[in-house]
Amino acid sequence: MKVDARAQTVETQSPELDGFDIKRRPFLGFGLLMSSVIGTLAVLIYFGAWVSVDRIERRALAEGVDESQIEGEWWEDGLVLACPLH
């Protein structure tokens, strides 16, 4: 088997595509990505706080004491504190 040692030319420019040219930076795409991440976190915090409050209420009812006397888990207290609606 013989190796052909001829030099091949390689194009360094990107190929021209019909009507496809990105002239601006993709700020809209990154903005939409970040807004969806923030929205997802907000929904997770809201539903997590809802579950936490429900768990604390159920433990208080089971023990027959007031909710303020029940000490929640660290994650329950953190979610309730993080959610402005709870």
Q: What per-residue confidence (pLDDT) applies to 33? A: 95
78 backbone dihedrals φ, ψ, rounded to 5°: -65, -40
Residue whose pair of structure tokens reads 């929904």 in the numeric block: 43
Examine the pLDDT at 13 and tell me if it is beyond 70. no
14 backbone dihedrals φ, ψ, rounded to 5°: -75, 150
Mean of pLDDT over the chain: 84
> pLDDT band for position 1 (50/70/90)?
low
How many residues are listed for the chain in this entry?
A: 86
- Write down the domain spans for the chain: 40-82
- State both tokens at 64: 């027959």
